[in-house]
Chains A and B, each alone.
Chain A
Amino acid sequence: MGRFVVYRLLNMVPLILGITLLSFLVMSLAPGDYLSSLKLNPAISPAVVHQMEAEFGLNQPLIVRYLKWLWAVMHLDLGVSLAYRVSVTKLIAARALNTVILALASMVFSWVLAIPLGIAAAARQNTVWDRLLSFFAFLGMSVPSFFLAFLLVYLALRTGWFPVGGSFSVFYSSLSPGMKIVDRFDHLVLPVVVLGTAGLASLMRLMRSQILELKNSDFARTAHAKGLSPRAVLYKHVLRNALNPFITLAGYGLADLLGGAALIEAVMNLQGLGLLLLDAVRSFDVYLVMGSVLMGTVLLLVGNLIADVALVLVDPRVSFWSERAR
Chain B
Amino acid sequence: MTRAAVPESRTAKTQARRRGILAIAAHAGGLVAAEWRRASWPARASAICLLLFYLMAAASPVIAPYDPARQYRRLPDCPPMRLHLVLPGRGAPGLFCFHPMRMADPLARRMVEERTRWERLRFFYRGHLFSTASGAAPFFVLGSDALGRDLFSRIVYGARVSMCVGLIAIAVSFSLGITAGSIAGYAGGVTDNLIMRWAEVEMSLPSFYFLLALAALMPAGASTVRTFVTIVLIMSFISWAGLARVIRGMAAAARGLAYVEAARALGASAPRVVARHVVPSLLAYALVAATLAVPGFILGESALSLLGLGVQEPAASWGNLLAQAQDVQNLGRYPWILAPGVFIFLAIMSFNFLGDYLRDRLDPAQHGR
Q: List residues of chain A with CB under 8 Å of any chain B CB.
A: 15, 18-19, 22-23, 26-27, 29-32, 138-139, 141-144, 146-147, 150-151, 153-154, 157-158, 164-165, 209, 212-213, 255, 258-260, 262-263, 266-267, 274, 277-278, 281-282, 284, 289, 292-293, 296-297, 299-301, 304
Contacts and interface: CB of A to CB of B under 8 A. Distances in A.
A150 B325 contact: yes
A259 B206 contact: yes
Interface residues of B, number: 42
Contact of A142 (B307, B326, B349): B349
22 contacts: A19-B205, A22-B201, A31-B219, A138-B352, A142-B345, A142-B349, A143-B348, A144-B299, A144-B303, A146-B302, A147-B345, A154-B335, A157-B332, A209-B368, A212-B368, A263-B208, A266-B307, A267-B306, A274-B208, A281-B213, A282-B309, A296-B206
Given A154-B331, A209-B368, A144 B345 contact: yes
A22 B206 CA distance: 12
Given A143-B345, A146-B306, A281 B212 contact: yes
Nearest to A147: B341
Interface in B322-344: 322, 325-326, 328, 331-332, 335, 338, 341-342, 344
B322 A146 contact: yes
A304 B260 CA distance: 36
Interface of B: 200-201, 204-210, 212-217, 219-220, 295, 299, 302-303, 306-307, 309, 322, 325-326, 328, 331-332, 335, 338, 341-342, 344-345, 348-349, 352-353, 368-369
A27 B206 contact: no
Contacts, number: 127
A267 B299 CA distance: 14
Nearest to B340: A147
| Chain B, interface SS category | helix
| Chain A, interface SS category | helix
A192 to B, nearest CB: 18
Given A213-B368, A259-B209, A150 B352 contact: no
B349 A139 contact: yes
Contacts of A282: 216, 309
A293 B344 contact: no
A292 B209 contact: yes
A23 B211 CA distance: 10
Contacts of A154: 331-332, 335, 338
B216 A165 contact: no
A293 B213 CA distance: 8
A141 B352 contact: yes
Given A154-B338, A259-B209, A144 B302 contact: yes
Given A15-B201, A141-B352, A255-B206, A23 B213 contact: yes
Contacts of A30: 216-217
Contact of A19 (B201, B299, B303): B201
